[in-house]
Structure formats: C-alpha cells, structure tokens
Structure 1
Amino acid sequence: MKNLFHLFFFFACIACHAQGYQNPVIRGFHPDPSICRAGSDYYLVTSSFEYFPGVPLFHSRDLVNWEQIGHVLTRESQLKIKGGNIWGGIYAPTIRYNDSIYYMITTNNSDKGNFLVYTDNPRGEWSDPVWISQKGIDPSLYFEEGHCYMVSNPENAIWLCEIDPKTGKQLTESKRIWEGTGGRYPEGPHIYKREGWYYLMISEGGTEYGHKVTIARSRNIEGPYESNPANPILTHINKNAQDNPIQGVGHADMIQAHDGSWWLVCLGFRTQSGQHHVLGRETFLAPVCWNKNGWPEVNGNGTVSLDMKNTKTLPQVKLKDTSDQNFNGSRLGVEWNWTGNPIKENYSLTERKGFLRIRGSANKLDDFNCSPSFIGRRQEDIDFQATTKMQKEGNGNAGITAYLCPSAHYDLLISGNKLKIRYRMGMLLHEKEICKIPEGTVHLRIEANADVYTFLYSPDGIHYTEAGQMDTRYLSSETNGGFTGVYLGLFAEGKGHADFDWFEYMPLCQ
C-alpha cells in the first residue's frame, strides 16, 4: 500500500509539472516585460508610458500566476509626466536583483531620459531617480564581481558602459558592441552569462508585426559579439505563425528558474476584428532550451501560443486577486491609474464613505498633455463586461469610457440630466442624446466582443437598455498608433462631481 501511495505521489508530481498554462500570463496593456529572481520569488515589471503610478510590479512563485503588488514609481519626485500622450512617459524598464538590492532602470521619455531606482524591499518604497548619462532607450543592467554594466541603444546600436548604480556616475567610456542582424530599431538589450559566454539578447524590427528577438555572444563582455546563425530565436513574422492569434512578439527577457530550467517573457498582442488589437501589448511566457552548440531555443520553434498545455511548468502557486472594485478602502487598488500626474484634490475616497468621488475640471478626455479627472484600469480581455453605479451632481459631464487616448475614446455619460453617448475618432466627434435621467443613481455598462463595444444603461441595475455600439478597430493601435492599450475608465468634466459606488470588471466566455 505504501509503495502504491509513493507511485501515486510520483505521477501526481509529474502531472503538476506538466499541466501547462495559458498565455498571456499577464493580460492587457503590459508590454516590455523584464524579470528577476530572488531565491524562489520572481518579480516582473512592464512599461507604463503616460500612466501614473509608473512601472507595474508583479510577484510570482511559478512564472505563470502573477500578483500585482504595486508600482515602482509612486511619487511625483520619481515620475514627472503629463497625460494625453501615448508616445510619452516610461519606456521599457529592466528589473535586476544583486546583493540583496533590487534595481529598476528605465527611460522617462517625457523627462531627462535614463534613470534607475533601487530598494531592499520591492513591496515598499523605491529610491528617488538616479540619472544616467548614457542615452538611448531600453536600458538594462548586468552585475558581475562588484561591477555594474549598463547597455542601451543610442545611435541605432547597442552600447555598453560601467556605472556606479548608487550615484549614476559613468565609470568607463561607452562602447558600441553590437548592431543586431540588420533589423530596424535594435533595442531592448539584456546581457546574461552562461558557461563562460556573455549573451546579448535584443529586439529588432520595431514593436509591430515584424518584431523579433535576436541574440549574440562573446567571451568578453565588451565583445566582439558573434551573432547566432539561427537568428531570430523568437518571431511571428514567418509562415509558421502567420495564422497565430498572437502577433508582434518581441522585447524579451530570460530567467533561470530555481529548478534550473530557463524561461523567457516577451511582449505580443492578440489580434481581433481583422488584424487589429486594442488590448495593447501583453506579457507572454515560453520555455527555453539550450542546444548542443550553446544557443537558446525558444519553445522549440521560436513561437509562442495561447495554449501551452504540453509545457512542463514549475509547481503552480495560486495567488490572490488584489483588485478593488468597491472603493471601500483608504486608497485605490493597484489596478487603477491616472493619465499623467493626477490633480489629487479631484479624487476622494473619504468625502462619501464607500464611494469614489471624482471632481470635474476644465481638462477633458479630448485634451492632450494634461491630466483630466479620470481613473482607469486596463482592458484585459477581448470579451468583457464593465459596470459602474454612479450619481452625478452639477452641470458637467461624468460617466464611463473605453479610452485609448485623447483622440480615440468612446464615452457613455450623464450631461446635466441627460444620458449621452459620445464617440471621438481623430478629428471626428459624434455625440447623441439618448434620454433624460431622473435624479439619483444610474448604472452604466460597457460590453465588448472582438468587433464591437456595446454601451448600456439601467436605472435599477437589473434591466439594461442599449445606448449604442461602435467598432473596436477605431480604438486599435493600428488605427491610432502609440504604445498603450484601451483603459476602462471613470471620469468627470466641467463643474460638479460624480460619486461612483463600485466598478465591476469581468471577462465573458469566448
């Protein structure tokens, strides 16, 4: 009987390790992932561009299940940024762990460029910025024997220097070490060391459909670097991925897990409605093996899939959901963001217990380079439903929005005592009155599928009436450009305020 129990336990362990997982592992607008390990704890950061707080920070024990534990940049002294600019703000962070200290280095494209922050507790406060003189974007750090090396991409190539990570002082001259394989925009460099080789992994081709990951190696960190003859090691530009619902994969980082296995996180986007994407670039996970010639191979064929069911994984460790949809706490949940540095007096969780109050201002959702009275959370699913219960005071506007940028958003709002639907598409603006709304609360809802957003309202939260529909593709990155994805937000414009009782987001079965 004892032997049978051990046999059962053995096969149960195998099943646990081979249970596979679903991509993306972090859904919605979470691009440019970077990862580090401290023992059996994994930490991951992604780009945040125009949104505040900056640099979402995640924790995992198994690389599949991730809990957002906060943001790295939570103070205005760390992040000066204006909203209404999907090209601005925080680009491609890198997180590293060395001698019990966590470092995050990134670029603020709206401020002075490259900087790093550090902490001994990633769940706590991080330092104020330490500014770095080497230019380019997508900086990364590599630590070895008391030295800290930095790589970034000025002049369309990868450059290396040594820095003091506590002061930012550059200790050596910058040296050009690799230009990539000829693809445009060589960026996202990371250095690793394995079996005496320094590996330099980058992305090329631009963060669009032609994105790819390439790698080179050298016995000396300063080069010369030899390109992998099998480059690219990851791309969906080839025939073998032409029908894959994930496209634009690239900008990757690698990690060796505590069991010795190797893994890669990368960005990609899920297409919908005729090769458009509205969710932004998301975070995907793939296994890595090293071939007999010492080069990494990603998932066997250089692609990633939504269903990774045949992939052996670390033992799964489920994490709690940290989202806050009821506004009952003393602060907003970690999933909520503002565009740019917020005007803090326009938001309150205390003036009416259990409600989020948003005060209107002269700044509107249409306005560039400002911070409207808006909070939002990422759209994470192609099919979803988002609902809020609100009460408005004053003559201004307030409501719910599917928001990409000032020139691309769909809004269901109360204006005075009238329910309106409003569509902003570039220079085109359409606004339609739906009905009069009696005083009191109203429920507003957005539902979506691959092709349309549907807007609904209800006076009682039970019986909903459709207010209008609009194509998803007009909120896509292909239509509007930029580096972000759609947010589902609550807002107020003009005089008055709105009290939001709760906000419920839920994926719908596809």
Structure 2
Amino acid sequence: MTTTTAQPTVTPTALTSVVPIVPGFHPDPSICRVGDDYYLANSSFEYAPGVPLWHSRDLLTWTLVGNILDRPDQFLAGHASPYGGVYAPTLRHHDGRFWLITTDVSAGRPGQLVVSAEDPSGPWTAPMFLEGLQGIDPDLAWDADGTCYVTFCSNGPEGPGIAQARVDLEAGTVLETPRRLWSGTGLAHPEAPHLYRRGEYWYLIIAEGGTERGHSVSVARADRPEGPYAGAPANPVLSHRSTTHPVQNTGHADLVENADGSWSVVYLGVRPRGATPMFHVNGRETFLAGIDWVDGWPVVDEGRYLRPVPDTSYTDAFDADELHPRWASPGAGLSEIAEARPGGGLRLRRGDGPRADFGFLTARTLDPAWRFEADLGVSRGSGALLLRLDDTHWCEVRADAGQVSAVVRIGPLEATLGTTATLTGSSVTLRAEALGPTTGGPDDVRLSAVVDGKEHELTRFDGRYLSTEVAGGFTGRVVGLRTLDGTVDVAEVRYTALPTDQAV
C-alpha cells in the first residue's frame, strides 16, 4: 500500500506560541533526545496501530515516523472499547536502546507493558508485562548504577497517588513492593509522573487537578529517587485554569535536556471554542515551552518557542508500498479492512471480530477548520465517509442503495438529517467539513457530496455534539471511511486545512 503526501508548508502568519507542535488527538506526550535527534510518543487509546512516534531536529517541526505498537502481539486491534486501550506512555533512551512503557487497560492482564528497540523506526520487541504495578501512566528512570525505577499512578494496595518500585527490565520482574511517593499539592487526580536527575536532586513532575480545565503541572524534588520529596514553593508550575488563555487543560508534562544544556517541556492542552462552557473537538494536543531553572526549580517559559501556523494539508492516492502511519482504526487491523489496488488506490471491506462495525480507516483531524473528501467507487458495494468521536458520537455521508444521505448519531439518537441526493453512477465524491460556527458551538459540521460534478449539501449542524464536553472521554475527532456492504474502491482522499477565519 502506498501514500502520496503533499510536502508540509507554512503559511505567512504571525509567529505564535499557542500552536501545538503535534496537532490533533495526540495527548500525553513523552519526549527523549539522542544526540541532535528528538523523539516523541503519544497515547492512542482504542486506535490501532498504537502509540504514534515522531522525530524532530528543532523541537518545532515533527515528522510522523510510525507507530510503536504496530503488530497484533503488541496491541490487538478491536479489543479495546472507547476510552480503553493504550494510555499514557513514557519514551526513554538508555544504554543505546529505546524503551517505551505504557498501560494497555484492555489487555486482559495486569501490569505495565514494556517494549524496546535499537532503532526507533523498529522493529520493537514483543511486549513484556511488569506485574504487580497496578495503575497507569508509568515512567522509567535509571540511577547512575543502572538501577531502574518505575514510577506510576497507583490504583493498587499501596493506595491512590504516585507510587514507585525498582524493576529488572531484562528479566521483566518487579524487585520490591511499590511504595508511595509525593502525590501533589492536594488537587484531584495526581497522575502522569516523570522522574529526572539534575545536579544533586531528583525531580518528580506530575499532573494534578484532573485532565479537564483544572489540569496543572506540579514538581517536587528529593536527594534520592525513593524520596522523601518536597514540593516547589511556586506549584503549580504550569496551569491555565480560570484564565482566558486560548490553550486550556494544560498538563501531563515531560522535560528534556537539550544538547546545549538548556531544557524544554512538552505538555498536552486543548483549544476550546464557542459559547460557555466552550468545547474542544480535536482532542488533547501536544504543546512546547522552555524551562528556566531558578533557585533549583523549573520555571516554564511559554513564550520561548514561537512558530507559524503550519499547513497540515495532504493528498493520499494510496500508491506507495505501505499505508502512511497517519491511518488507524478503532475496530479492526488495517490489513483486515484495506487492500492495495494495482496501480494505486485502496479496496475497503468490512472487518471481522467483536467490533467489526467499527472497522474504519481513519486519520486524526488537525485543525480548527478543515475539509476532508474522498473519491469512491461503489459498483461492488456501499460505503461512507465518517467523522467520529466515539461509538455513539459520529456522523457520516453514506453512498448506499442509489442515493447519498447524511446520518448523525448523538448518544442513543441516530437519524438521517437534511436532504438526500440520487446516485446516478458508480462513482461519487463524499465530503465533510468543519467550518465557522453559526449557533454558539465550536464549529459547524457540514456534510455534502459531489455527484456528476454537482455539489449537494446534505446537512449542517452544531459541532458541539461531536465534542469531548458532550461525549466525554479522552480522545478527539477522527475522519475516514468505512464499507457498509460489499467492497468499496477508494481512488484518493484529500485533507485541506482551511483558513483560520473560517473557524471563528
């Protein structure tokens, strides 16, 4: 399978610090540096392949290298329901090897999942599970003598909060009963720990306050990895709660030391829009800031890194040997549902397994305003272009039974909205757009189709109904394709980032 991708460009807009370095549903960033190369991993929840992996030389422009959990023995597509699957990872490089630790909450066995690789492009090993560490958000850190510590958000017998234990990664064993560490300033849900050695101190970074508007970053330090830890006098060191800042829910931070000795931090945030309480639709995204060390404590400099708004547009004719790593599915392995066609394009079919109905070929939406369209051949079946947040919050344009229609699902309610169009031949272009709001939501979702060269608007509705504030959960919108019956041929898809003024 192949991919033709437009080269990324940037628009001549003013530099800004509120543009994510990795836009769209890419939460829980973890970063490491090897020489002049930076690598960043994100959580992926129910979507397979799992854990997107990015590379950069300047911290500002990132290229999607692949997905770390890209085989069934690492993460089984379709076994995780919405908000299950792969939670926050930690990516580290130690003794010439890359290590990734994360939690697959739907794996059916307890413990933290660990894989490793000599080359970040893979192959990554089959997973081992560190059993006895009950919880999420695991971190890896090594002492000077090679002792490895896993620090995590516990839901085990040691009690809630941040816990830690020494482990043997070669043997895949936990060497001691986990102990509780410092668990924040008293805010809700202390989580997302990362541990670092700098100078004479060990620093423990955590998130607290919940991953919604109260999200924040706090820090403590100790003389040794086991503690005891004392909190910074200026905690939280990063939070946008109760402000009008355009980026909210800031938290889940990971520090990195740069080659010149300076420090930076990646963290997640959202870009809510619309009327109160405001709504975010593209999920939690990855942002970047600088770090200054003042009196032995990290101080976040949000204005250090400025960048123009990038053009995230792409065209995919599926004419390369493999699918681009942007594509993922919440319900089936990609090889189950997508087959390369000679000369280019894809043939889509329904998947098997317990979540076959959700075997979609999807990619994350990346911008406040965008257009996604697909050229389909439906002579052998029927298909749809869909915009999805979860199993019960989605919409799609269907080419089925000689007509094109728009279907919207919000919770238990599913209905055909707007008008329909007659499908006169075996090919059609289906389209979804996120445009400026007309009713106080974050945007309007517009669904349409082009039949015999003529565009038919089918429906337009308030995008808040496909927002996290309505649906809940931890993911963001994805857009893609599925087969309703038989097989469907995909000649080309086009994702276009629209001007920012179309999103306000």
Alignment TM-score, normalising by the size of structure 2: 0.89
1:344 positional shift: 3.1
Q: Which of 166, 173, 184 pairs up with 1:169? A: 173
User: After superposition, what is the alpha-carbon deviation per residue over 1:54-96, rounded to whole angstroms, capped at 9, x for unaligned?
Assistant: 0000000011110000010010000125367221000000000
Partners of 1:498 and 1:372 in 2: CA distance? 16
Per the alignment, residue 458 of structure 1 pairs with 450
Question: What is the match of residue 369 of structure 2?
Answer: 383
Q: Which amino acid in structure 2 is aligned with residue 231 of structure 1?
A: N
**What's 1:44 paired with?**
40
Between 1:368-377 and 1:67-76, the stretch displaced more is: 368-377
Q: In the alignment, residue 83 of structure 2 is paired with which amino acid?
A: W
Q: Match for 1:354 among 344, 363, 388? A: 344
Aligned partners of 1:143 and 1:282: how far apart in 2? Answer: 28
> Which of 78, 83, 97 is the equivalent residue of 2:93?
97
Q: Structure 2: where are the runs of 5+ without partners?
A: 1-14, 436-441
**1:69 and 1:378, CA in 2 relative to 1: closer, same or farther beyond 3 A?**
same
The percent identity for this pair of structures is 36
Q: Provide the rounded CA distance (Å) in 2 between the counterparts of 1:122 and 1:57.
A: 8
Deviation at 1:157, TM superposition (A): 1.4
* Alpha-carbon shift at residue 106 of structure 1 (Å): 0.1
- 3-state SS, counterpart of residue 214 of structure 1: strand
Measured in 1, the distance between the counterparts of 2:388 and 2:80 equals 11
Cα deviations by residue, 1:124-169 (Å, 9 ceiling, x for unpaired)? 2100111012111000000122111110111321111111112321
- 1:505 and 1:343 mapped to 2: Cα distance? 20
In the other structure, the counterpart of 2:3 is: none
The answer on whether the counterparts of 1:68 and 1:322 sit within 8 Å (CA) in structure 2 is: no
Contact 2:74 2:126 in 1 (8 A): yes
Question: For the Cα contact (< 8 Å) 1:81–1:89, is it kept in 2?
Answer: no
Letter of the 2:147 partner, please give it.
H
User: What is the deviation of 1:326?
Assistant: 0.9
Counterpart of 2:222, as a letter, is S
Question: Do structure 1's residue 221 and structure 2's residue 225 form an aligned pair?
Answer: yes
Matching of residues 34-433 of structure 1 within 5 Å: 34-82=30-78, 85-111=81-107, 112=109, 113-133=111-131, 134-145=133-144, 146-154=146-154, 155-238=159-242, 242-274=243-275, 275-291=278-294, 293-299=295-301, 304=302, 308=303, 311=304, 325-342=316-333, 344-350=335-341, 352-360=342-350, 369-370=355-356, 372-394=358-380, 397-432=382-417
Closer, same or farther: CA 361–58 of 1 in aligned 2, 3 Å:
closer
CA 1:421/1:320 → structure 2, altered by over 3 Å: closer, same or farther?
A: closer
Gaps of 5+ in 1: 1-18
SS in 2 for 1:473: helix
Cα distance change of structure 1 residues 220 and 343 upon mapping to structure 2, 3 Å threshold: closer
| Local SS of the residue matching 1:344 | helix
TM-score (norm 1): 0.88
Q: How has the CA–CA distance of structure 1 residues 101 and 362 changed in structure 2, closer, same or farther, with 3 Å as cutoff?
A: closer
Q: Give secondary structure in 2 for the equivalent of 1:336.
A: coil
Q: CA deviation at 1:455?
A: 1.3
Counterpart of 2:20 (choices 19, 24, 37) is 24
Instruction: Give the C-alpha shift of residue 330 in structure 1.
Output: 2.2
Contact 1:76–1:341 (8 Å) recurs in 2: no
Match for 1:504 among 483, 489, 494?
A: 494
TM-superposition CA deviations, 1:275-328 (whole Å, max 9, x none): 10110000000111011x2111111xxxx4xxx4xx267xx9xx9989661111
Going from structure 1 to structure 2, the CA distance change for 1:42 and 1:94 (only over 3 Å counts) comes to same
Residue 115 (structure 1) shift: 1.1
- Look up the SS of the partner of 2:470 in the other structure: helix
1:82–1:361 CA distance, 2 compared to 1 (3 A): closer
The verdict on how the C-alpha distance between 1:84 and 1:466 changes in structure 2, with shifts beyond 3 A counting, is farther
Please state how far the C-alpha of 1:426 moved relative to its aligned partner: 0.5
Q: Aligned pair in 2 of structure 1 residues 29, 267: CA closer, same or farther (>3 Å)?
A: same
Contact 1:234 1:249 in 2 (8 A): yes
Quick one: distance in 2 between partners of 1:362 and 1:136?
A: 31
SS in 1 for 2:142: strand
AA aligned opposite 2:196: Y
Task: State how far apart, in whole Å, the 2-side matches of 1:355 and 1:496 are.
Answer: 17
Q: CA 1:236/1:407 → structure 2, altered by over 3 Å: closer, same or farther?
A: same
